[in-house]
Chain A
Amino acid sequence: MSSAVSPSAVVSAAAPVPPGFGCPELRLPADQVARARTLARQVAAEVDAFTERRSTVAIERTVLRLLGVDGAGDDGVPWVNRIVDQLQGEGLLQSGVAAPFCQAMLDRGLSAQEAAHAVVQGHIDLRPYAAQAIPGLQPAARQLGDHLAQHGLQRIAAQRATRQNFLDTLGCGPQPLLYVIVATGNIYEDVVQARVAARQGADVIAVIRSTGQSLLDYVPQGTTTEGFGGTFATQANFRLMRAALDEVGQELGRYIRLCNYASGLCMPEIAAMGGLERLDMMLNDALYGILFRDINMQRTLCDQRVSRRLSALAGILINTGEDNYLTTADAVEAAHTVVASTLINEALARGAGLQTEQLGLGHAMEIDPLRPDALLLELAQAMLIRTLFPGAPLKYMPPTKHMTGNILRGHVQDALFDLVGVMTGQGIQLLGMATEAMHTPHIHDRAWALEAAKMIFMGGRALGSELAVRPDGAIEVRARETLGKALDLLEEIAKDGLMRSLAQGHFADIARSPDGGRGLAGVFERGPDYWDPTEAPITRELQSRGWLTPQGTAVWPA
């Protein structure tokens, strides 16, 4: 070979380097893949049938927010909580919060914000309105609710259009996107850290939430400067960070995505806020809160459906949390549970109208890096997930379980994961921090990770499309074995239903009962007159875009 040929020309002379998604071909039994997906769809359909008939206090609070209510009392309790709790306490929520609220607005001639304030001040009592329920609801009140809901949803649609405009004009980084976290506890300090990270090449900034926010049954209000291990997710904090990333992104000529958590007891509210403030990604898992935060499964399953419908509408990419399963279960033995859960999460997501390009299904195998062939097993699993979900911007995560405080070893582990990520065509690479599990990242910790990842991605970008795995070799055998076990597990789950399966501890070695955990009191069956003015327009919009069928069910790629 001529020494005059530059390294980049060596590759591009043979074939152009693809923009991403290069992954060596992995031969999987097509009948098993099809069967696994059929079972996952069956499981998801059963969940959807359950959740469609129910609502939760969080969903009702979301409705109020979309109608335009945004405020909190001096005690920090949001108005939407005060309003919903007033009805919930008296068992008057079966028809939803919208009907009594809109009727009261109409009667008093108040805006949503004014009416909310009046309820909180005790000037309006919604209970008599709720007792009348829908039969007493005047057509004008219904029109008012429909109008306000449309307005709220239009604000989300406008943010979606703004994002698209940024992506069309500025563009963004190539896949795998470089994803880093900020977690100072102070949103103003987070902004500094995020802007610096963007300058070093970060494509996605995830603001980690304060520990325990997932268990708060309300969303804190306003900008916040104190948190524990992270920063509170509030609408005001979202807005501040969004503006900062837009500014630095325009300067850099690259759209910087913002990520937060639509999870925990306020899942749908945070999804709505994310839509209103143009977040681009949300950690949003159908099962994570049930397993790892002991949130009641009925509550989370209902909440995830609404949060995902909103994310579908807002163009928000969701990240699922299967990567966490293996922090508690054995990484090699239980790898199939990740695959099974990812298939279920996909089916539930599609049922909510999310599209392939919004499915940032999360995975990481947490295999002990000191185990022989650890890297080979990681490759096999990463290729399996990549092959099962073509086109989805998969989120690949390095192992947090095996970070020791030896930051140099940790940095090498993370680098190896970067290599696996780029050579299996992952969509989003969550960059490990060498200091992970020691402290929330310092400003230079992120710089080390970004510098390493950029170098590895630049050097390894063509590996996935140039290398082939040995037919029937260790990688294929491992991938098929994992798929086979995932299929067996899905057969069981489909037979028992998701809720009973969760109770049996199939995922992450954790068993949760349908009536246990936090937040069950906030779940209720919809009464015959239940009304959520945002529901029909969201469904119509998702249908008109071809993301839900005319029957309101999932659309699957051919």
Chain B
Amino acid sequence: MATHGRTEAQPVDLTQVRAYGDTLNDGAVALSFSLPVPCGDEAKEAARQLVRQMGLTDPQVYHAHDLGEGYTWLLVYAKSPYSVDFTKISVPKVATSKLSHVAIEDFWRAQGGGEKLRVIGACTGDDAHTVGIDAILNYKGWRGDKGLESYKCFAVKNLGAQVENDRLLAEAAAFGADVILVSQVVTQKDCHRTNLAALVDLAEAEGARHERIFVCGGPRLSHPIALELGFDAGFGPGTLPSDVASYLVQAVAQRRRENAQPA
């Protein structure tokens, strides 16, 4: 791992990395937050005490802004004494590479056949929150990243909310889906996990698990949790449609290659 730009200056100890302002290990950090108290010296002191409780030292209130109605915005600089061992950082990731919109289309075209990759999506169980599935599938997408509907290489069917697992599997079969995309937003009593596991069980009971790629997503889901529940991949908060699209073209291509080989 390269430590750029410190050829003459003191080298970075990657086992003890601290925040950096202008001097190695100075621990300089900035915080911006509001407090529900009137602007004044008391608000500034409250901010300093709060910042110290966060484990930071030398808090300096650069700006206190009267928002009115008894609220104050504070901009505070401070020092963090903490460090992390960068050599021990490990982040599990979906094992396919992130592609651009154009590269995704090109990748799928290069797979030949000209057929679209067929994706069916739903919020299952009682979950009525289609925000996630809509963000990924609908044309408009999310954060300026267009949804799967906007890609020429995908045929998309969005079943919407409150779809039962058996119906989802039946619709997927009728649609000839390559991929089943399940969104779970509601997590009360871990219903999302129960629901997702039940879908995989049902698919396995019907002998249909390996015909399709199973993907889940939601604010409390991640790739490791998805694997644990028997899915092929999982996407957590902040996922863009193009993240899912990148994974799907590569995973479906891979699955087709595997299925083409005699067991």
A residues contacting B by CB (< 8 A) are 192, 195-196, 199-200, 211-212, 215, 228-229, 292, 294, 324, 327-328, 400-403, 437, 442-444, 447, 509-510
Contact = CB atoms under 8 A, between A and B. Distances in A.
A443 B69 CA distance: 11
Contacts of A192: 69
A467 to B, nearest CB: 32
A444 B138 contact: no
B129 A212 contact: yes
Interface of B: 32-34, 65, 67-69, 71, 73, 129-131, 134, 138-141, 143-144, 146, 150, 185
Kindly name the residue among B65, B69, B73, B134 whose own CB sees the greatest number of chain A CB atoms within 10 A: B69
Contacts of B130: 212, 215
B129 A403 contact: no
Contact of A196 (B32, B67, B144): B67
Nearest to B150: A328
A54 B140 CA distance: 29
Contacts of B150: 328, 509
A328 B73 contact: no
A200 B68 contact: yes
A510 B139 contact: yes
B140 A228 contact: no
Given A402-B144, A437-B144, A228 B67 contact: no
A211 B131 contact: yes
Nearest to B160: A215
Contacts of A229: 131
B73 A437 contact: no
B140 A443 contact: no
Contacts of A212: 129-131, 134
A228 B127 CA distance: 13
Kindly name the residue among B129, B138, B144 whose own CB sees the greatest number of chain A CB atoms within 10 A: B144
B147 to A, nearest CB: 9
A327 B144 contact: yes
A328 B71 contact: no
A196 B150 CA distance: 40
Contacts of B32: 444
Contact of A199 (B69, B134, B138): B69
Given A200-B68, A443-B71, 20 more contacts: A192-B69, A196-B68, A196-B71, A199-B68, A211-B131, A215-B130, A228-B129, A228-B185, A229-B131, A292-B138, A328-B139, A328-B150, A401-B144, A442-B34, A443-B34, A443-B67, A444-B32, A444-B33, A444-B65, A444-B67
Contact of A328 (B33, B129, B131, B140): B140
Contacts of B146: 328
Contacts of A447: 65, 67, 73
Nearest to B146: A328
Nearest to A400: B144
A228 B139 contact: no
Closest 5 pairs (CB-CB, A-B): A199-B68, A444-B73, A401-B144, A211-B131, A437-B143
B44 to A, nearest CB: 15
A444 B43 CA distance: 15
B34 A444 contact: yes
Given A212-B134, A228-B131, A292 B140 contact: yes
17 contacts: A196-B68, A199-B68, A211-B131, A212-B134, A292-B139, A324-B140, A327-B140, A328-B140, A400-B144, A401-B144, A402-B144, A437-B143, A444-B33, A444-B67, A444-B73, A447-B65, A447-B73
A180 to B, nearest CB: 13
Contacts of A443: 34, 67, 71, 73
A400 B140 CA distance: 12
A444 B32 CA distance: 9
Nearest to A446: B67
B65 A294 contact: no
Contacts of A444: 32-34, 65, 67, 73
Contacts of B129: 211-212, 228
A195 B144 contact: no
Contacts of B73: 443-444, 447
Contacts of A403: 143-144
Kindly name the residue among A229, A328, A403 whose own CB sees the greatest number of chain B CB atoms within 10 A: A328
Contacts of A200: 67-68
Contacts of B33: 444
B245 to A, nearest CB: 15
A324 B140 CA distance: 9
Contacts of B69: 192, 195-196, 199
Contacts of A510: 139
Contacts of A199: 67-69
A301 to B, nearest CB: 20
B95 to A, nearest CB: 25
B126 to A, nearest CB: 14
